[in-house]
A and B are shown apart, each in its own frame.
Chain A
Amino acid sequence: MVLQNQLVIAIGVFSVTYLIIMSEKLNRTAVAMVGAFLMLILNVEGQEQAFSHIDFNTIGLLVGMMIIVNIMKKSGIFEYVAIKAAKMAKGEPWKILVAFSIITAISSALLDNVTTILLIVPVTLVITDSLELNPVPFLVPEILIANIGGTATLIGDPPNIMIGSATGLGFMDFLVNLAPVVVVIFIVTMLVFKFLFKKQYNCEDHNKFKILQMDENRAIKDMVLLKKSLFVLGFTILGFILHQSLGYESATIALFFASVLLLISKVDVEDIFLEIEWPTLFFFMSLFILVGALEDVGVMEYLAEKLLSVTKGDPFMSTLLVLWVSAIASSFLDNIPFVATMIPLIKSMGAMSGMDIGPLWWALALGACLGGNGTLVGASANVIVSGMLSRHGHKLSFMDYMKVGFPLMILSIIISSIYLTIFYV
């Protein structure tokens, strides 16, 4: 009877919390925290057990990377690279877009997507302003590429961090299994923009001259800090590549090098900690508690049973189901709570059926990360760009974005389906 009450309460609290987060009427972190601690107040589980659900590897990895990026961006490296690229493109709008898309893809593979967007958008706005062009045809591909690039690595997008941490899959596992398909999706996406929107990338010759007059050296704010940051980032990436063979968790690598950079960069530590995205971290921790409570009362096992009865344990069906459901759901919902819910569900499916769930993790990563491209609310990066554009007097409506984003998202999922079918199932 007690267990049944706990089951009803856990499902009730989780569903209401999820619905309120989806409605976006209230702050998502505050809602998730209330939901998480309601699980404790209503005795679904005790504090010790609830806190044991928090994946501190995910949290540590996020904190470490936030510290490294916050220090690194103070050096002006990003503006330097962007101006240099725009000048190498000789001010040609299409070539600039290609260069910025490559920078965005690489950055979002190594940093998180939101950070990448916050770094590339200001530079793009300055460049399009100089070229006297509408920034929207530049920023929409950048949104898509940020989400696509982030799919390629363990640290590129929060769903991958969560999947990696929950499964033990390392940096190289993600790179080897996801980077090939991500490169294909990147090229196809750029070709679509090249052929369907080419008229948007023309400008007057005198405006190209303005780009050539820019001085990339002026963007460097602190050369010493720049060298230290690049040095530490290089070692951090090397650490991620080797972390499994060295026997370290990814958070250990990120936090160690973040603390080294804090020490040697001589930046104001308090300032750097002020810029850490605490609401994001508490959102993650609350979701871990919420999903952990559902897991403890047996909901995940029940759902896995139902899912297995639909797919009959067939790896092909299961993989495609996870891929497409994740993609469509992540187009409209926040992919972080979705992935937090799917991880224990897939684990239960594996435990109950004995099937190889390896391909399901890649399907989940591809679906959840690429699905964010479907609509304007699909990923944080999309919402941020829309807000920044409106502050600059440009409008990117939900429908305007969806007309481009949704078909391209579907195209990327079709490519992913073919890739998974050929290589995994």
Chain B
Amino acid sequence: MNAEVMEHTMRLRQMGADVQVINSKMCFVVFPLEEFDVAYCYNVNKKGKYFLERIKPYPLALREFDKEQDAIDIIEIDLEQFKNAVKSHNIEAFIEINKRLNETLMKFEDLFLYYNVPKEETDIISIQLDQIDEEIRKTKETAKRVYFKKNPEHL
């Protein structure tokens, strides 16, 4: 494994990167719920940094924490919310929409990286995103709140 790390770092350094190799432990955590599994992956290292990612049922962006307890707290709350969400009759649609949003994000990235997109087209996409944002905001105003242990971070 050390030899492979050495090969990778040599290639990356020749590409101009600054590479730091840190000994760490990778933890894979799976909670089997009735409808689906909720899975996380986090990394513990001696530098006191914890990188947490949800893998299932759909990916959650990478987050960095300073304390191990923060990572456990986030997992605990996330899991509780999923256990609540499982009871909802909308759960399948909710997961499906999240997966589609992730796919859309990847398609948009390909569009941006592989093609020269005219400004008018990006404006159209931006307007449609505003519409989705507005729809989420309106729904939040009218829907009943079901989880109170922690406030939403992005709404």
Q: Give A residues with C-beta under 8 Å from B.
A: 73, 76, 79, 118-119, 121-123, 125-126, 214-215, 218-219, 221, 268, 270-271, 274-275, 384, 388, 391
Query: B16 near A218 (CB under 8 angstroms)?
Result: yes
Contact of A122 among B6, B13, B14, B23 (CB under 8 A): B6
Tell me if B4 is interfacial: C-beta within 8 Å of chain A: yes
Residue of B nearest to A216 (CB): B14
Which of chain B's residues have a CB closer than 8 A to the CB of A122? 3-4, 6-7, 10
Which of chain A's residues have a CB closer than 8 A to the CB of B14? 126, 214-215, 218-219
Residue of B nearest to A210 (CB): B14
Query: A271 near B23 (CB under 8 angstroms)?
Result: yes
Q: Sample 10 A-B pairs with CB under 8 A, ordered by A number.
A: A118-B3, A122-B10, A123-B10, A125-B7, A214-B14, A218-B16, A219-B13, A219-B14, A221-B13, A391-B4
Which of chain B's residues have a CB closer than 8 A to the CB of A384? 3
Q: Which of the listed residues A118, A121, A122, A268 has the most CB atoms from chain B within 10 Å of its own CB?
A: A122
Which of chain A's residues have a CB closer than 8 A to the CB of B23? 268, 271, 274
Query: B6 near A119 (CB under 8 angstroms)?
Result: yes
Segment 1-29 of B: residues with Cβ below 8 Å from A: 2-4, 6-7, 10-11, 13-14, 16, 23
- How far in angstroms is the closest Cβ of chain A from B51? 19
Among all A-B residue pairs, the 10 with the closest Cβ atoms: A122-B7, A122-B6, A118-B3, A218-B13, A122-B3, A79-B10, A271-B23, A126-B10, A125-B7, A214-B14
Which of chain B's residues have a CB closer than 8 A to the CB of A215? 14
Which of chain A's residues have a CB closer than 8 A to the CB of B10? 79, 122-123, 126, 219
- How far in angstroms is the closest Cβ of chain A from B129? 41
Tell me if B46 is interfacial: C-beta within 8 Å of chain A: yes
State in angstroms the CA–CA spacing of A76 and B10 once bound together: 9
Interface of B (DSSP majority class): helix
Interface size class on chain B is 10 to 19
Given contacts A126-B11, A388-B3, A388-B4, 13 further A-B contacts (CB under 8 A): A118-B2, A118-B3, A122-B3, A122-B6, A123-B6, A123-B7, A125-B7, A126-B10, A219-B13, A219-B14, A271-B46, A274-B23, A384-B3
Residue of A nearest to B21 (CB): A74
Which of chain A's residues have a CB closer than 8 A to the CB of B4? 122, 388, 391
Which of chain B's residues have a CB closer than 8 A to the CB of A76? 13
- How far in angstroms is the closest Cβ of chain A from B25? 11
State in angstroms the CA–CA spacing of A126 and B9 once bound together: 11
- How far in angstroms is the closest Cβ of chain A from B46? 7
Residue of A nearest to B19 (CB): A221
- How far in angstroms is the closest Cβ of chain B from A101? 18
State in angstroms the CA–CA spacing of A54 and B7 once bound together: 37
State in angstroms the CA–CA spacing of A79 and B13 once bound together: 11
Query: A126 near B7 (CB under 8 angstroms)?
Result: yes
- How far in angstroms is the closest Cβ of chain B from A217? 10
- How far in angstroms is the closest Cβ of chain A from B111? 31
Residue of A nearest to B17 (CB): A218
State in angstroms the CA–CA spacing of A122 and B13 once bound together: 14
State in angstroms the CA–CA spacing of A270 and B47 once bound together: 13
